[in-house]
Amino acid sequence: MSHTSPVIASLREEIERLYEAGARANEVPLAHATFERFREALTHGEIRAAEKIDGRWQVNSWVKQGILVGFRIGTLREWHGGVLSFVDKGTYPPRHFEANDKVRIVPGGSSIRTGAYVAPTVICMPPMFINAGAYVDECTMVDSHALVGSCAQIGKRVHLSAAAQIGGVLEPVNASPVIIEDDVLVGGNCGVYEGTLVHSRAVLGAGTMLTRSTPVYDLVRGQVLRSSGDRPLEIPENAVVVPGSRAVTRGMGKEWGLSLYTPVLVKYRDEKTDQSIELEDLLR
């Protein structure tokens, strides 16, 4: 996608024009037709909110603008299917899958919005939700009660364990979304928010919470990992991060013996780690 085709370049120009029109976007000729072409490209992974180019993640602001345009020009409508019903913007209907898509969606109340790319071989365990603009790559498992927010980028062979929350960053349009690279394990009840970047093969232990304002204490290298300026919090490749705490060292917090939550990088992934988190290939 770094080498933009003329078709995509033209689509980008049209989307940027619609975005600049603001609340009057509906008055632009062929606005809905343009958005539907955009949404199809998003759904099929032809465009994405962020992508890695020459080893660095870059935000495609115009794609995020296009997602916002869909909300602006959409009106509420109803969908009914069996015992389930939805009322949402008509520009973002629930996505319909067929066997040819090669995505496993196990019965039980899951929902994926049109405009989310879900690659062949992804497994979705019920109930789970993937929002518009998200990109979920091959052989990833989205487990029960896991949520993937708008524009979140999920790599190959990722396991989003039960109740994992991957935040969405749609606005501001130039802000990096949450990115989970290849072969990452996100443990149960984890939360990854505010544009955090988790590099490949990292392991987040159950209950780990990562936000832009959360420092991570690397016990192995003796340093504190923080976000800085426009740079998000980054979890290094092969890092193993677990929930921890640090003592309050002044004021009433010290007097009362309080401590604050903090994620702790306790080791870097090794063969023992690989064995403990290995997934059954038969499940895939």
| Mean pLDDT confidence for 233-252 | 97
For residue 66, is pLDDT > 90? yes
φ and ψ at residue 81, rounded to 5 degrees: -150, 105
217 and 150 co-located in one domain: yes
Q: What pLDDT band is residue 86 in, cutting at 50, 70 and 90?
A: confident
Please give the pLDDT value at position 277: 73
104 and 62 both lie in a single domain: no
pLDDT digits (tens, 9 = 90+) for 151-185: 999 999 999 999 999 998 998 999 999 999 999 99
The verdict on residue 150 lying in a domain is yes
Pairing between β-strand 223-225 and β-strand 203-204 as defined by DSSP bridges: unpaired
Confidence of residue 253 (pLDDT cuts 50, 70, 90): very high
pLDDT value for 282 = 58
Cβ neighbours of residue 162 closer than 8 Å, sequence gap 6 or more: 125, 143, 144, 145, 146, 188, 189
My answer on whether 113 and 62 are in the same domain is no
Q: What is the pLDDT of residue 146?
A: 98
The verdict on 173 and 246 lying in the same domain is yes
CATH number at residue 207: 2.160.10.10
Would you place residue 43 in the very low, low, confident or very high pLDDT band (cuts 50, 70, 90)?
very high
Which single residue is written with the structure tokens 């389930």?
A: 84
Question: Do 110 and 242 share a domain, yes or no?
Answer: yes
How confident is the model over 82-97, as a mean pLDDT?
89
| pLDDT for the residue numbered 82 | 72
pLDDT tens, 104-157? Answer: 999 998 999 999 999 999 999 999 999 999 999 999 999 999 999 999 999 999
For the chain, what is the mean pLDDT? Answer: 94
| Within-domain flag for 284 | no
Could you tell me if 151 and 194 are in contact, meaning their C-beta atoms sit under 8 angstroms apart?
Answer: no
Q: Which domain holds residue 134?
A: 96-273
Q: What do you get for the CA distance between the two ends of the chain, in Å?
A: 28
Our CA dihedral for 80, 85, 89, 95, rounded to 10 degrees, sits at -70
Three-class secondary structure of residue 278 per DSSP: coil
Residues 45 and 171 in one domain: no
**144 & 250 share domain:** yes
Give pLDDT, residue 51.
97
Q: CA geometry: angle at 111 spanning 50 and 155, to 5°? A: 30
In the structure, what pLDDT confidence band is assigned to residue 88 with cuts at 50, 70 and 90? Answer: very high
C-beta separation of 241 from 203 below 8 A: yes
Residue 14 is assigned to a structural domain of this protein: yes
**Amino acid at residue number 20:** E
Closest CA to 159 of 133, 183, 190, 129: 183
pLDDT in tens, 206-218: 999 999 999 999 9
- Whether pLDDT at 53 is above 80: yes
DSSP code, position 156: T
Instruction: Specify the CATH number for the domain of residue 26.
Output: 1.10.166.10
- Overall size of the chain counted in residues: 284
- In this prediction, residue 129 carries a pLDDT of 98
For residue 168, give the DSSP letter. -
What is the amino acid identity at position 216? V
Task: Please check the confidence at residue 45 and state whether its pLDDT lies above 80.
Answer: yes
What is d(CA 210, CA 191) in angstroms, rounded to the nearest whole number? Answer: 6
Mean pLDDT over 193-199 rounds to: 97
Last residue of a domain, one of 39, 73, 107: 73
Residues 122 and 241 both lie in one domain: yes
Count of the separate structural domains present in the chain: 2
Query: In terms of domains, do 125 and 18 share one?
Result: no
Residues 6 or more apart whose Cβ sits within 8 Å of residue 82: none
User: Would you say residue 3 has pLDDT above 60?
Assistant: no
Pair 38, 119 in one domain: no
Q: How far apart are CA 156 and CA 139, in angstroms?
A: 6
Say yes or no: 262 and 167 in one domain.
yes
Looking at residue 123, its pLDDT comes to: 97
| Residue 281, pLDDT score | 64
Closest to 112 (Cα-Cα) out of 98, 92, 84: 92
Cα–chain-centroid distance for residue 164?
11
Q: Which amino acid is at 33?
A: A
- Is 90 exceeded by the pLDDT of residue 84? no
**Do 171 and 251 fall into the same domain?**
yes
Residue 190's CB: how many other CB atoms inside 10 A? 26
